[in-house]
Chains A and B, each alone.
Chain A
Amino acid sequence: MLKFATKRIGLALVIAALSVTLLFIIIHLIPGDPARTMLGPRATAEMIADLQARMGLDKTLVEQILIFFGNMLRGDLGMDIFSNRPVATIVFEQLPHTLALILSAIAWSATLGIFLGCFSAVRRNSLADRITGVLAVSFIAAPAFVIALYSLLLFAVKLKWFPAIGAGEPGDIGDIIWHLVLPSFAIGLSWVGYIARLVRASMLEIMGEGHVRTARAFGLPENWITYRYALKLAILPTVTVIGVGMGFLLSAAVFAEIVFSRPGLGKLVIDSITTRNYPVVMGSVLVSTILFVASTTLSDIVNAILDPRIRQAK
């Protein structure tokens, strides 16, 4: 297990380094000069050259990348052009809001999705299965920002059950959860459908396998076979999908944060892109990238914990 985890984490570090490099190059290719943007239209050529030198923009791309990595390892992601605060501080102020949003969305949608998937699988082709199927596909088809807008209009504006904007009073857990409900619902809903379909499909496949027949032939209770024997196998592809799904949730979180005016990484990226605040764009996208690599790695490790065949694979 330790060997598997070490290998997988090593690989993740390599992937993270490569994606950060790629990211750096892509940002570099975006038209527009950060120094010129900062100084405004009336800056002289000397002033621009001076700032470019201070920001390290006069060095070659390779040098810039190496310097960037060196700084990154020391936790330095550069300075915000406008507020002159460290980017790392800004990003880590926003990160908890996005993490809370994504993790809560994953948690509720996976729980409900797995339940609905099992529910459908054991009632295969019944009316209940068909209704669940239609619901699941509708959830998948509904874009997160549409759900966000309509749930805002219905539950916050009209019914006033939940607050419309913000992330709640810092330190007040109840209030924070209160503010989390609608955005989490909006970005998690399509995942309920997706996970329900996936779990149903893999449950049906597994319930037809020989070992389930054996379990039945030994008279094990049907609930036991479904939830302790089959689900443990059927959950494996779902874990992988949730790992990859973190990436999609990160982008869905952007919509939710805009619609609900929540602080968070998504909102930070959008704001900094519109103001051409490159260090902040770089810093927040970098953290998102690392978050994504970490979540896929974590899902691999969870799969290895659940499945001895993966764990012991040479």
Chain B
Amino acid sequence: MENDILNIRDMSIHYSTPRGTLKALRHVNVSVPKGKIIGVVGESGCGKSTLISAIIRLLAPNANLASGAITFDGKDLFGLSEDEMRGLRGTDISMVFQDPMQTHNPVLTIGRQMTDIQYRDDMTMEQKTKRAVDMLTQVGIPDPAARLNQFPHEFSGGMRQRIAIAMALMARPKLLIADEPTTALDATLEVQIIKRLEELQADIGCSILFISHHLGVIAELCEEVVVMYAGEVVEQGSVREVFHSPQHPYTKALLECDPGHIKEKTRNLPTIPGEIPDLVNIPAGCAFAPRCPRVFDACHTQRPEWTRIKEGQHALCHLAGKEAVQ
């Protein structure tokens, strides 16, 4: 606990919708230790975005915290006033978003946007500009001083994502939340950005919560991984354990679907048949049961327990720990 910069305990987030209560996150536990990089994987609709929005408390107006709490650096985030929370955003907690083409305001220069976010710092405009230039140099933007006068549309997607990283790390935050920062970029850029992020993380010493559905990137960058499915954490553990001996059938299926794991030439890429359950009417028992290849009777009626497999690996499955999932 003391070593965690971020600790999410038993958190449930519900949305009130015309159809009823949508339980987007249910009893989620995630902790991010100081100075570590934690990965979160899961397919679209698994609650990754809600998780991030909850941490920076920028949830949609129809969302509410149904249970649990988030502790960041010793503070209960949902207990803070709006102003206190805003004080943390961009200083202690920073974010890099998925789509670099939408991250920046199109009618303001990059320089203006980079100096604006330093509004809390008691520095002259020259000092703020210098800091922006230094940061752009660190993420590898050539001729940064001149480029500060340019507008977002004059940069490529990769450049814009570097700028987003520069902005997020400029205040030397304690926690960086990276929401699929490389999904919108091509593969060569992805490697460059990941490398740069790793270097900067080591330099600043911040923790990173890295959200991705690219398993290769998670394996490369993170020490621990959290696998999410339909609003629940289904498996959690060190990257080595989870990737080499996955305990939850969903994790296993996810790994099999990763194109990086496919060795033979095939016409049909593997998929997980079926769809994510309707989060307004969640089936009794295990949420993954309708799609699970190893489903048996109890899965449809009983909720699985959060089971400890070994030190640092847990899974939410009736079969977890009982036998190796084949």
Please, how many angstroms separate the alpha-carbon atoms of A209 and B90 in the complex? 18
- Which residues B75-102 have CB closer than 8 A to chain A? 86-91, 94-95, 97, 99, 102
What chain B residues lie within 8 Å of A209 (beta carbons)? 102
What chain A residues lie within 8 Å of B120 (beta carbons)? 219
Tell whether, in the assembled complex, residue A229 and residue B58 are in contact, meaning their CB atoms are under 8 Å apart. no
Total interface residues on A, CB under 8 Å, equals 21
Tell whether, in the assembled complex, residue B105 and residue A220 are in contact, meaning their CB atoms are under 8 Å apart. no
Minimum distance in angstroms from A126 CB to a CB of chain B:
11
Given contacts A233-B106, A308-B151, A309-B153, contact A214 B97 (CB under 8 A): yes
Tell whether, in the assembled complex, residue A308 and residue B90 are in contact, meaning their CB atoms are under 8 Å apart. no
What chain A residues lie within 8 Å of B301 (beta carbons)? none
Please, how many angstroms separate the alpha-carbon atoms of A232 and B151 in the complex? 14
Given contacts A210-B99, A214-B97, A308-B151, contact A219 B104 (CB under 8 A): no
Minimum distance in angstroms from A151 CB to a CB of chain B:
38
For B91, give the chain A residue with the smallest CB separation: A219
Given contacts A308-B151, A309-B151, contact A219 B58 (CB under 8 A): no
Total interface residues on B, CB under 8 Å, equals 28
What chain B residues lie within 8 Å of A82 (beta carbons)? none
Please, how many angstroms separate the alpha-carbon atoms of A219 and B87 in the complex? 6
What chain A residues lie within 8 Å of B119 (beta carbons)? 220, 224
> Is B56's CB within 8 Å of the partner chain A?
yes
For A209, give the chain B residue with the smallest CB separation: B102
The answer, among A213, A216, A218, A306, for a CB contact under 8 Å with B167, is A218
Binary B-proximity of A6-17 (CB < 8 A = 1, otherwise 0): 000000000000
Minimum distance in angstroms from A225 CB to a CB of chain B:
9
Tell whether, in the assembled complex, residue B107 and residue A220 are in contact, meaning their CB atoms are under 8 Å apart. no
> Is A73's CB within 8 Å of the partner chain B?
no
> Is B156's CB within 8 Å of the partner chain A?
no
For A311, give the chain B residue with the smallest CB separation: B151
> Is B67's CB within 8 Å of the partner chain A?
no
Please, how many angstroms separate the alpha-carbon atoms of A108 and B87 in the complex? 38
Minimum distance in angstroms from B8 CB to a CB of chain A:
18
Minimum distance in angstroms from B287 CB to a CB of chain A:
28
Binary A-proximity of B55-67 (CB < 8 A = 1, otherwise 0): 0101000000000
Minimum distance in angstroms from B121 CB to a CB of chain A:
12
Minimum distance in angstroms from B150 CB to a CB of chain A:
9
> Is B200's CB within 8 Å of the partner chain A?
no
Please, how many angstroms separate the alpha-carbon atoms of A308 and B95 in the complex? 26
Binary A-proximity of B97-117 (CB < 8 A = 1, otherwise 0): 101001111111000000011
Tell whether, in the assembled complex, residue A218 and residue B106 are in contact, meaning their CB atoms are under 8 Å apart. no
For A236, give the chain B residue with the smallest CB separation: B107
What chain B residues lie within 8 Å of A233 (beta carbons)? 105-107
Binary B-proximity of A196-218 (CB < 8 A = 1, otherwise 0): 00000000000001110111111
Tell whether, in the assembled complex, residue A213 and residue B91 are in contact, meaning their CB atoms are under 8 Å apart. no
Minimum distance in angstroms from A70 CB to a CB of chain B:
44
Binary B-proximity of A212-249 (CB < 8 A = 1, otherwise 0): 01111111110010000100110000000000000000
The answer, among A210, A219, A306, for a CB contact under 8 Å with B107, is A306
Please, how many angstroms separate the alpha-carbon atoms of A213 and B53 in the complex? 10
Binary A-proximity of B150-176 (CB < 8 A = 1, otherwise 0): 010110000000001001000000000
Given contacts A217-B56, A220-B119, A308-B151, contact A211 B106 (CB under 8 A): yes
Minimum distance in angstroms from A195 CB to a CB of chain B:
19
> Is A307's CB within 8 Å of the partner chain B?
yes
Tell whether, in the assembled complex, residue A217 and residue B94 are in contact, meaning their CB atoms are under 8 Å apart. yes
Minimum distance in angstroms from A95 CB to a CB of chain B:
35
Given contacts A209-B102, A210-B99, A308-B153, contact A217 B89 (CB under 8 A): yes
For B118, give the chain A residue with the smallest CB separation: A218
The answer, among A215, A216, A217, A221, for a CB contact under 8 Å with B105, is A215
The answer, among B97, B107, B116, for a CB contact under 8 Å with A232, is B107
For B112, give the chain A residue with the smallest CB separation: A228
Please, how many angstroms separate the alpha-carbon atoms of A67 and B14 in the complex? 76
What chain A residues lie within 8 Å of B58 (beta carbons)? 213, 216-217
Q: Which 9 A-B pairs have the closest CB atoms?
A: A210-B102, A218-B90, A219-B89, A219-B90, A308-B151, A218-B117, A217-B95, A211-B105, A219-B86
Can you add 17 more A-B contacts, CB < 8 Å, to A217-B95, A218-B117, A219-B90? A209-B102, A210-B99, A210-B103, A211-B104, A211-B106, A214-B103, A214-B105, A214-B164, A217-B89, A218-B89, A218-B90, A219-B86, A220-B90, A220-B116, A229-B105, A308-B106, A309-B107
Cβ contacts A to B, 9 pairs, < 8 Å: A218-B117, A219-B87, A219-B90, A220-B119, A233-B105, A233-B106, A306-B107, A309-B153, A312-B154
B-to-A contact residues, CB < 8 Å: 56, 58, 86-91, 94-95, 97, 99, 102-108, 116-117, 119-120, 151, 153-154, 164, 167
